[in-house]
Amino acid sequence: MEAINEGSKAEASMADTTKALASTISALPELQRKKGEIDAHMNIATCLLEQIKSRSLDSFYSIEECVMERRSLPKDDRATLTQLMADGEGGGSVDDRLRLFLLLTMHPQPSVTDADMAGWEASLRAGGADLRPLEWLKREQAFQSAVALPSAADAAGAGRGGGVLGAALQTGLAFADKAGVGTTVRAAGSAALTAGSALAQGVKQLLPSRRETAITRAVKALMENKGTTPDEESYGYLDPKLPGHDVAATARVRSGFAHAIVFAVGPGNYLEYQALRQSVAPPSGTQAGVPGAARRVSYGCTDVVSATDFLKQLGELAAKGGAA
């Protein structure tokens, strides 16, 4: 009797093992597919990390963020800036250095002297850089300085990086965003952290910042619809429920809006889209209890160009004598 029971247990164990093996075999194609996806993502992440390392994109990004936020460069970043701009000794292509140089032209740093800028410009010219974008930027700044009138608006704009060049800086804000390292580097941030390598530790700063852009501030004000900012009142207001097209400010509905369609007439960029998602319409569930967490923003634009293509467009503008 005991032998029969042991035999039954053995048969049951064998049946369980067979069933488990059959289940594993049936799941093998799905497991292989998932492994293929993981391998593909890791290969992409590895290639991105190699580009980041060879071009020192993490250093460029760190300095660019500091410059665009109008913060003084820390001592280490000042030394890195000198190394990056010295004939590319610190890594980076000629276009990488040119974009950083244009940012420094737009947002001068106290620690960067005119002699430094002159030397770097000569280095870029000697390295074969197309400096027509620099010509366009200087002409645009001169134009904005000439037409800007000292006023209370300029004084108010000074705190936002304005002064007489406030309009120029606002016009060039999209340009400043495009002068960053681009979509692929930002996508590499999370992959780099997962990789766990020494290099990955050095590219943490490539993760998206929460800097607000001009379009972010405008969309946020329009969606809140409180009527408390001059920028908000400068936009047209159409209400299909009211007769006519010119709705007086007193007749405007003051409740907030949950959905906005934002379309940039001209080139758009990933940073603008990311800023809208983070500041205006955060993903559902990421900021529970925070006002605005349920908002939805659809973003579109006429075109999306790479940072290199944008420099080419500025060069074409300079050649034609055009302005923004």
Return the residue matching tokens 């503008």.
Answer: 317
Closest CA to 50 of 207, 206, 199: 199
* Distance (Å, whole) CA 116 – CA 127: 16
Q: Please check whether residues 228 and 168 belong to one and the same domain.
A: no
* Distance (Å, whole) CA 158 – CA 168: 12
196 in a domain, yes or no? no
246 in a domain, yes or no? yes
List residues bridging with 296 in a β-sheet: 259
Q: Please check whether residues 141 and 88 belong to one and the same domain.
A: yes
129 in a domain, yes or no? yes
Q: Please check whether residues 164 and 112 belong to one and the same domain.
A: yes
Q: Please check whether residues 173 and 227 belong to one and the same domain.
A: no
Q: DSSP label at 263?
A: E
Q: Please check whether residues 91 and 175 belong to one and the same domain.
A: yes
198 in a domain, yes or no? no
Q: Are 314 and 132 in contact (CB under 8 A)?
A: yes
What pLDDT score was predicted for residue 99?
Answer: 93
Q: Please check whether residues 64 and 147 belong to one and the same domain.
A: yes
Domain count, the chain: 2
CA 235 to chain centre: 26
* Distance (Å, whole) CA 21 – CA 31: 14
280 in a domain, yes or no? yes
What pLDDT score was predicted for residue 221?
Answer: 87
* Distance (Å, whole) CA 229 – CA 104: 30
Q: Please check whether residues 77 and 162 belong to one and the same domain.
A: yes
**Helix or strand holding residue 171 (H, E):** helix 166-171
- Residues 67-112: tens digit of each pLDDT: 888 888 888 888 889 888 886 566 788 999 999 999 999 999 999 9
- Residues 170-219: tens digit of each pLDDT: 444 344 344 443 333 333 333 433 444 544 555 545 555 666 778 888 88
38 in a domain, yes or no? no
Residue 24 CB neighbour total at 10 angstroms: 10
238 in a domain, yes or no? yes
Q: Please check whether residues 254 and 155 belong to one and the same domain.
A: no
Amino acid at 87: D
From the DSSP assignment, how many helices (H) and strands (E) are in the chain?
15, 2
CA 62 to chain centre: 13
**Tokens linked to 33:** 């597919």
* Distance (Å, whole) CA 277 – CA 296: 8
* Distance (Å, whole) CA 85 – CA 80: 9
Q: Please check whether residues 141 and 227 belong to one and the same domain.
A: no
* Distance (Å, whole) CA 175 – CA 169: 9
* Distance (Å, whole) CA 163 – CA 151: 9
Q: Tens-of-pLDDT digits for all 324 residues of the chain? A: 555 566 666 666 777 777 777 787 888 888 888 888 999 999 998 888 888 888 888 888 889 888 888 888 888 888 889 888 886 566 788 999 999 999 999 999 999 999 999 999 999 999 899 999 999 999 888 888 887 655 444 444 444 443 333 333 344 434 434 444 333 333 333 343 344 454 455 554 555 566 677 888 888 888 888 877 776 777 877 777 766 655 565 567 778 888 899 998 888 888 888 888 888 877 654 444 445 457 889 999 998 888 888 899 889 988 887 544
Q: Please check whether residues 275 and 218 belong to one and the same domain.
A: yes
The CATH number of the domain holding residue 255 is: 3.40.50.1910
Q: Please check whether residues 169 and 117 belong to one and the same domain.
A: yes
Dihedral angle over CA of 87, 93, 99, 101, nearest 10: -10
What pLDDT score was predicted for residue 44?
Answer: 92
Q: Please check whether residues 247 and 140 belong to one and the same domain.
A: no
Tell me which residue range forms the domain holding 145: 56-182
Return the residue matching tokens 């010509």.
Answer: 135
267 in a domain, yes or no? yes
Q: Is the dihedral of CA 66, 67, 72, 76 positive or negative?
A: positive
CA 292 to chain centre: 21
Amino acid at 75: K
